[in-house]
Structure 1
Amino acid sequence: MTGPTPRADAPGTAANTPGTPGGTLPRTAATPAEAAAEAPAGTSLAATPRQLWTRTRGIALAVVVLLAAAIAIAVVRSGAQHGRLDPRSADPYGSRAVAELLDDRGVSTRVVTTTEEARSAAGPDTTLLVATPDLLTERQQSRLHAATKDSGGRTVLVAPNTLSVSTLAPGVTADSARSLDSTLSPGCSLPAARRAGTADVGGNRYETLVPDADSCYSSDGLPSLLRLPATAASGDAQGDTVVLGAPDILYNDRLDEHGNASLALQLLGSRPHLVWYLPSLADDAVDDSADEDFFDLIPSGWLWGTLQLAVAAVLAALWRARRLGPLVPEKLPVAIRASEAVEGRARLYRKADARDRAATALRSATRTRLAPLVGVPTARAHSPEALLPALTSRLRSPGRDLHPLLFGPPPGDDAGLIALADQLDALESEVRTS
């Protein structure tokens, strides 16, 4: 592929670029477009793997850090929650010590994980402990209460809150403020509380209008332990419901403090059988969701997470978006070869298929150089009425029409751009030698 005769005084070359010393750099192609025309057609402008890695390594690093943080948090949380209130766990927050002490007293402990198992186990000789009542759905709470209210046994609710206490223990409401003290004195006539003395039951506080209810371990006038008596439908046996404001007396690492062990053994050992209900993913909560739509099944945490991701995506888009505005000329920080500046701009023209701008640059530079040669002022070099008559008189063939060459439309392809550059170079050579 051939091109026009190199020139160093063309507009856009490093010889005329502000910041280059003296404007005396080597002569090069007349315009960036000429260098683009001379560039090999097979040259790939796609980003190399190294360039792709350089552009994306920051995002990749951020993703890796986020994933590592998420995994670390999940591991920490899973470790902290493992065995909590599980009578089979020897962890600090497990309850194996209570189960073994009860076993020494002849009380058997059985762990269940579904509402159906808990309902079928309710009976006059059974204490049913619900470890996390707030995890149950409203329907599960109603079914469980229906099975226990007339069973004649004891039901122990561990730290129920507003979500569950009003259903599992009708007539009881949870106060919004928790007790500031964890260790409280009984302050009631309940024999189990009086024998145990002070215990770590301070947590949720309750109010009740149930007659004959025992209200113990009060803080600011509100109890943290309630015993609600109930009578079986047959009238032969009496059961009750115990609402415990905090699970501390059941933890392995707190059992030997104050009267925790005594209170736990009396509350859980009044019947020969203890059924320890730990709600799990295998519970019948799936049946309760039959009438719910897809969005009801999505936890609220995922919705908040999606919103945070959306905000992060918008901020990242604003950060990485192309800034639109007027071009600002800047001086080159270092002196570079004229050919490098021309080739760089030409590659940009070629990548953008800007043949019209390249042709305009070629014609404008040629007109600017031809005007002084034929006696036309530089200010009128781009006026066809002033430049064309003066040029025609200097040509060997006076009848030639130069208007399409110097002021015509842009070429439609790269071959036409190369031909235009050759013709402009030939015209300038002819005028200089005439």
Structure 2
Amino acid sequence: MSAPATSVSPDARRLWLVARGPLLAAVVILLTAALIALFTTGEDGYLNPRSATPQGARAVVELLAERGVETVEVSGPEEAAGAAGPDTTLLVVVPDLLDADAARLLHNARGPEAPGRTVLLAPTSPVVLDLFAPGVTPAEPVPVETGAPECRTEGPRRAGPADLGGMRWDPGADAERPGGARTEVCHLREGLPTYLTLTPPDAPAGTDTVLLGTPHPLLNENLADEGNAALALNLLGAHPELVWYLPGPEDLPEGDESFFALLDPAWRWAALQLGIAAVLAALWRGRRLGPVVVERLPAVVRAAETTEGRARLYHRAGARDRAAEALRGATRRRLAPRVGLSRTDAREPAALTSAVAARTGEPAAALHALLHGPGVPSDDRELVRLADDLDALERRVADPVGDARAGAADRDDTAPAHRTDPPPNTKDETP
């Protein structure tokens, strides 16, 4: 048989009122995460040609499409090498992820049979530079700033001032370069180029390699600034087809793969937002203590045991002053109603002392010292004597007539006894 319901038993309405806040917050968080994942998965990411986010590159792809340049997105070195046919531009977004085999595969895709342009964004890997730009060494990067091209290369010169910077390279001397490749430097920063073009001497027309110090001009959020759009179109629109090689998780070097590296950036941002929402929800609900709940005590302690335990604590600490004040305070509280004083009047020492003195007939000074101190017992014997005196005073106040009779009886018992003989018979007897 189930226990009967009480006034504090939770019902459906009360459970709903308590749980609706957290449930609503959880639903909102899940819907937000689902919408973020739905609208961003596969369409987000840094320099993603299909992403319309500020860090994406969809805008430059659409501008190229208006000029008849078709963009083909690839995700692996084999696919990129196969798509880099004749009269194409191959853009490698993260060239430093290429290992020796992948870099050699892409480098060999260019040749007499497949002339075209190869664009590398901020390469620093020696493996990549030795293959695509022999004799070029990386230098310290610099901040991105707007500057003039300061060169005769047609594309940057026609674009005019643009936002360039980032990686710089030391091209060295053309005569000392392996193969004798010719270099053209643009957008110099502190004497070194952030836009470098290398043209092999025996390569077919239209075949070159361009090193761009930063992808800043290609991003959606920067395309409308200065000459960034013109620079991007001249750089990537030199041929009718653009192969956009965006490395995926499978392109990570051996041993560098991790769980977070395999996640799409959209999921990482969604996880961060969920974590912030969870912390805010915890702070919001953590301050609420809920209703007061009355619980039955697990054990009943007798008043005598409580008094004895408190007395032992006072005795162990040697707190005779606190014990004496506790005894006097309890006596004052019990005497006040017996002598006709209210709770407010009883707080005045003079009023209580006068009322007790009038009731018992004892000196007010002695009663004041007994009820209010300031004497503190010097040892346990004096503390016991104080307790006895206070107890006797309470008895006298409770029954002053009886105490007087008891006192008189005590005086009679202690007085000396006097024997009274009957008076002698003074009547003469007649013999």
Which of the pair has the greater relative contact order for Cα pairs under 8 Å at 6+ separation?
1
Scaled by the length of structure 1, the TM-score of the pair is 0.46
Scaled by the length of structure 2, the TM-score of the pair is 0.46
Question: Which structure has the bigger radius of gyration?
Answer: 2
